[in-house]
Chains A and B, each alone.
Chain A
Amino acid sequence: MLLEAALAVTRLSTGSRELDEILEGGIPENSINIIMGAPGSGKTTLAEEFIFCNATDELRPVLYLTTLSEPLDKVIRYLQEFQFFDAAKMGTKVRYEAFGSVLAANGIGALFPKLKDTIKTLSPKIIVIDSFKAIHDLARSPQEMRLMLHEVAGLLAAYNTTVLLVGEYRHEDIATYPEFAVADGIIELARNSLGTRDERYLRVFKLRGSSYRQGFHAFDITERGLQVYPRLVSPAQAGSYKRSEDRVPSGVPGLDAMLDGGFCTGSATLLAGPTGSGKTTMAIQFILEGLRLGEPCLLVNFQENPTQLAYQLNQIAGTLNGDGRRRLELQYYSAVELSIDRIVVNIFQTLRRNGIRRVVIDALGDLATAASDPTRMHGYLYALVQHFAVLGVSSMLTLETDPPVMASDETQGRLSHMTDNIVFLELWMRDRIVGRTLRIAKARSIAHDLQRREMKIGDRGLRIVKARK
């Protein structure tokens, strides 16, 4: 009996591991998908990366039909710039064909017999039609287009092939163009100008019979193809992970006594204060203490490059020994040049790759500069802090409060909910004398010292002068 058959949806990789992650494994096999976006948004690159990744069988090649947008020669010329391009597959496993002139001469009715003939003679594993939207311009009426699409969709659904319809569609087209009703999947690519830089985003609108990661995901186009940065979401087990009772020494003499032994492992600490109050110094001490204990640490900074940072670290620590240097990952980002998506995803990937135990992000205000909107910033931070907690990574996030970069009451309130501990570093002036104090405003699950304590900065960093006994 030949009765074994399963409904399990098999997936085809897009060629991008990160995009596959967003699509919960890739594009479902035997589906009809629309790749939409403005000219230059990366649609053709996505389609080409997909076909070269999946073109593995000469008996089941991929067919790439161009219609009336870019000339075929131009498409192929630029295709060769990408690393995924494989000349050996051209004409055998990947077949490009210009169909625009046939459509122009015979009308849109020529598409159905072309596809039927292709299926019968080529057994294509994948069919790409680029641009499908351009076919609308040749239709004599919407009815003609709808009837043609009905036939084409019926044919493509009957056969074991995966289809990409690429087009310069706009949002309003979704409600009016019939191909959106028959599509099993819709992926939109967009490009937004933000100050001096452009941000590229993709999002999945629809993926029939499958879950997917919703929202906007940043991406770049590089020589490797699409470099996608999946939107960081809170970990699935955030509500149920076991919180550690262990303590993490702060590296600041006197502070651990105020914290009844130190911060809780895996907790997030917001370190807030004005310029010159000692935030970066204290954050560095937190990192150095981790290194001293043999913990891999990550220091993310937006203002000083790794050379400047290493100098600062050496000033406080003396010269870092080889082991310490190896365990320390310094990351410098220009918040003006990079989007928050790329920064946060890089941080998260480093965390997992290097088994990081302590993280410092210095400073949140700079990270906010990299965010196109505050909601996005808070969403990312919340997810990141949740991941820190689940992974047992202790973090310290600095925030400049004077000038108040993120100082709306609402913003401060949201940040305080997000972190387990809040430490204020303050400057005071009396009779031309300036001093520094430290106050713990919040320390979740810790019987902490509520008193404002005086502190000093010396060669080896900050120390609490009047510590609790």
Chain B
Amino acid sequence: MAAVFTLRAMARDGLLRVGALTFLMTLACLSMHERVLAQDISLPSLSVGEIAVFQWHESPNDKKALRGLKRGLRLVGYEKIVVFDAKRNKQHAEKFLAQAEQKGVRCVVALGTKATQLALKYCPNVMVFFTAVTNPVLAGIVPSWQGGRALVCGNSNWLDRRFMLESFRAAVPGLKRLAVLHTANNAVSQAEIAEARRALKAVAGKKPATELLSYEIKGAKDFDRQLKAACANSDAIWVPIDIGLYQQEAFAKIVAQASAAKIPVVSSSERCAGRGALLVLAVDYELLGLRAAALVDRVLRRGQNPAALKVGRLTSSRLYVDLDVASRLGRRLPLPVVLDAWRVFRTGRPR
């Protein structure tokens, strides 16, 4: 709006007057922005010895992980916990993390990949624990799954992708082409897809039994096109952990389109469970949080070297199956898949 006004003024009053006007308007905008920031930011006050818990935004997974983390920390006596949600605001995150570095907190526990990357960037001298990071190696958090970075250790929500793909195939017999949707520049979904490709190679050897077709969505306008193509060319659609996809409206669209094409939607995001996905395979984030607390205890209380600690991974997983979706698609889920399910969705009552 300012740009439009400026252009009009330049045309009307001449360049000098426009320049002055532009300067004044820029000042006004900055002032307004600062004011807005001052109003929104309610940074928690940190002090020495406290544990700062940082999350980029409050996702359901993060919430669960935070619950487990808090429980574990309190269990071992860490009561001074300060939780900060940056709400996707980089300045807020920076400010909070800078404060944590400055105030000398005992450690920063970052929830999720983005939060961990920011924590490492702005708190280079503070012990950082991470949890619910899909692939910390790929995200540049640790050099390897064996750890090996000073002042950094944590665990991953990593799923055995081979197991995941086998579960998909078990739920969708004859699965030859699996389309995976993901938004551009999403580190989590990219990491998942890379893991899956690796697992496919490992499973099938020369020629994978299931072909993974990647459909990258580069914007809101690209969504429908990619979704349509994915539905037309595949036997099932995989929705990875991608906030641009598992959110309410986007996921509903994916499910509707896939249902019209009579193909199932499978996901590795727990958010998709019970919302139209035939099968969801996820991890227990609360347990991840609890295991992160155990890491904190090992390093801070027991004095273990964080660089020597492997990136923690869960062996258990949570499988969700939806029999209503199967019924709508005219499919029947194999009994072992149903029996392995952590939760079975079925609203239709028997007669």
The answer to whether A binds B is: no
List chain A positions with a Cβ less than 8 A from chain B.
none
